[in-house]
Amino acid sequence: MRITILQQLQIADELLRIARGEVLGDSWSRQVYSVDASHYEVAPEAVVCPADEHDVQQACEYSFAKKVPITARGAGTGLLGQSLSKGIILDFTKHMNRIIEIGSDWAAIQPGIVKGVLDKELKKKNKFLPPDPASSNYCTIGGMIANNSSGVHCLGYGNTIDFLEQVDVVYADGKTGFASAGKFDDRMARLQKLLSPHANVIRNGYPQVSKNSCGYRLDAVMASRFMPQKVFAASEGTLGVVTCAKLKIVDIPAHRCMMVLGFEDLLAAVSAITAILKFSPVALEMLDHTVVSHSGGKKISSDAGCLLFVEFAEDIRKAAEGHMEKCRQALAGKCAVLEHASDEQSIAKMWRARKGALNDIMKMTIGSRKPVGLIEDTVVRPELLADHAAGLLRTYRENNLDYMIYGHVGDGNMHTRPLIDLASGAEVELMDRIAAGVFAKVIKGGGTITGEHGDGLGRVGYIEMMYGGQMTALFSKVKRLLDPGFMMNPGKKVHPPLQ
């Protein structure tokens, strides 16, 4: 339904009457919220900065009654247009950004709090929340839940979904709900009833990899026991709006050590991954020469064709350093140890160098071409990574494409972007063909098309390819149960029914 300017002004005016927080309906604000970290652009009708849960309820009730889409937004760091919508945007960063309470092994927080702010408070108690995406300094916890974010240290600790213990939510009709493993509302009880007959299909229908943000994570919901709160992780705000989340936190390890390894090329580096994993690193990251060579020498100086960053963590210093030394010995003759450190300051500097190089490369352009994400988040089992990397390089070579490549290779998660001119219909079609081929191979090998970046607008059309008709039909039933009007972030995860 196309909304006229008059209707758009009416939406903003009506929201002003029911919300305690700010309502933004001017053209400048709508333009600001029409973009995120992706290449998509979708202008909303109005933006609400909810003051509290009551505001969220009021906005959802309005959306439900007026049939106006509603979408939750954090910092807008999504790479596939997750928080872009033509309807109402809920921006949680202004008011609903507080830490409610920190316990001995958990933290209760509002969705708009920035991960970096939470990190600082947890550090005072010698605790941390391990998922650490590259955007940690400005991304929000709500966005991390919506995407099931991971980051550098998920190899050793897990993904956001693994730490989500409880949520308070507002459903599409404005009613509140709650979900945890031991206590949940009536809608979650109905979800259990819906999913239970399909337990075997769910158990066998997901990729056998350590991270996955594709579709709805029903496998996590129906694991050893019913854990309904996990249905909201990786759901991209399509099933309900999380207004408070309780997340597990862990002790900061007493001792860490790290080394940077230089390999001749990408294939040599990824071929060493399984050998390195035997020594239980908590992080294992890769930067190819396509990234390092464009850092201008400012961030990382190396003649190596590919770098691996390997971190170990233990409560006993000798144990951490022992793992690193044994790993170094196992790789003797295959690579060079370019740097190593066991003090926090040096380790932080090494990670900053990696992050700085990535910040540089994301700004790279060649003529009208720029790095485009679509196949940028595939995950395969680590033992298949060398073959996967070889296939990507062959595809780029055959199509004469410049590219960048890096990733969380300890998890088999490869981040790669070809440089594409989005104004060229031929190049966009080429990108789609490449994606279909790459995804088909990844899926055949038991991997996933997105490990941590999510589906958003870019990959929603590939979800059925990933899971098949039976599972995607179940996704639609879950969506219809919790959002029968398909008003919550429509066009993501599940296509709306044909009118």
Confidence band, pLDDT 50/70/90 cuts, at residue 302: low
pLDDT at 308 over 50: yes
Q: What is the chain's length?
A: 499
Query: Quick one: CA dihedral 436, 437, 438, 442, positive or negative?
Result: positive
The mean pLDDT of 365-385, rounded to a whole number, is: 91
Contact 317, 341 (CB under 8 A): no
The DSSP code for 497 is P
- The residue with tokens 């919220």 is 33
Q: Across the chain, what does the average pLDDT equal?
A: 94
pLDDT at 4 over 70: no
The mean pLDDT of 345-364, rounded to a whole number, is: 82
The pLDDT score that the predictor gives to residue 440 is 98
pLDDT > 70 in the chain, percent: 96
Model confidence over 397-417: pLDDT tens digits?
999 999 999 999 999 999 999
The pLDDT score that the predictor gives to residue 422 is 87
pTM for the full predicted model: 0.95
Token pair recorded at residue 484? 């029968």
Q: Please state, in angstroms and as integers, the Cα–Cα distance from residue 417 to each residue in 270, 362, 370, following that order.
A: 18, 10, 9
The pLDDT score that the predictor gives to residue 371 is 87
Query: Quick one: CA dihedral 486, 488, 494, 496, positive or negative?
Result: positive
Closest CA to 412 of 320, 277, 314: 277
The pLDDT score that the predictor gives to residue 296 is 53
DSSP string, 152-208: TTHHHH--HHHHEEEEEEE-TTS-EEEEESS-B-HHHHHHHHHHGGGHHHHHHSS-S
Q: CA angle, corner 98, sides to 18 and 491, nearest 5? A: 60
Number of helices (H), then strands (E), belonging to the chain: the values are 19, 19
pLDDT at 297 over 50: no
Model confidence over 172-199: pLDDT tens digits?
999 999 999 989 999 999 999 999 999 9
> CB count, 10 Å around CB of 325?
16
Model confidence over 314-335: pLDDT tens digits?
999 999 999 999 999 999 999 9
Model confidence over 50-109: pLDDT tens digits?
999 999 999 999 999 999 999 999 999 999 999 999 999 999 999 999 999 999 999 999
3-state DSSP call for residue 348?
helix
Model confidence over 466-499: pLDDT tens digits?
999 999 999 999 999 999 999 999 999 998 876 5
Model confidence over 406-445: pLDDT tens digits?
999 999 999 999 999 988 999 999 999 999 999 999 999 9
Model confidence over 221-272: pLDDT tens digits?
999 899 999 999 999 999 999 999 999 999 999 999 999 999 999 999 999 9
Q: Please state, in angstroms and as integers, the Cα–Cα distance from residue 10 to each residue in 15, 66, 94, following that order.
A: 8, 12, 24
